[in-house]
Structure 1
């Protein structure tokens, strides 16, 4: 039986080959969707103090929606500081200390990185996004 990580470790072309047309491909795609739902539904193991997300201004600009860092993990798992998603429900949640203290590439902290490139990534509270009326939207031109 495949795990979600088995699917996520593949390239887009590999996945497309597995999800080929017809009943076999549909069955494989359904397995993938079910695993993804299990992974992200009912995340009750994320503590209240993890109330910040990292918004990538760089990748959101011109993208018609917000792009956030990481994949949501449980409290007992290592935090995700790589990858992007446009889904607020599935992006990683951080505490203020995790954002302040975590060493990124080159040994920089998040705050040192923001000083170097203020247009790259910003930490923002999930409640602030809610107040601004955030929801995933695509604007057709």
Structure 2
């Protein structure tokens, strides 16, 4: 099973998102990617956030562990905090799907962009149940 990490950075009631093609119908997603051999999940998230958004972050806490059984992927979501960098300084060829934009999206617009109501609720409520296994990724509205 492969491991994928994603980061949630929220500032001023807005979450940092990427506009890029995803495996599903929505084009907006959380920054993140696969864990490379020899790196921890936290190291992978810090690297992916810098490559995809231009931001330096620190991992705050584990939020949720989910599965994507059909793709044999373990999906780990962390809360992260910006420590530096500049949004939009995307590394060339940072991802297999080109990143069209990096921007702060107000929490109340998440469902307009294809995120589930559950994801918006979790963000607004401060991630109740943080640190837990949630089953399929759809259980957290992703």
TM tier relative to shorter chain: under 0.3
Query: What TM-score comes out, normalization by structure 2 length?
Result: 0.24
Rg comparison, structure with higher value: 1
Q: Which of 1 and 2 has higher RCO (CA within 8 Å, sep 6+)?
A: 2
Which protein has the bigger helix share?
Answer: 1
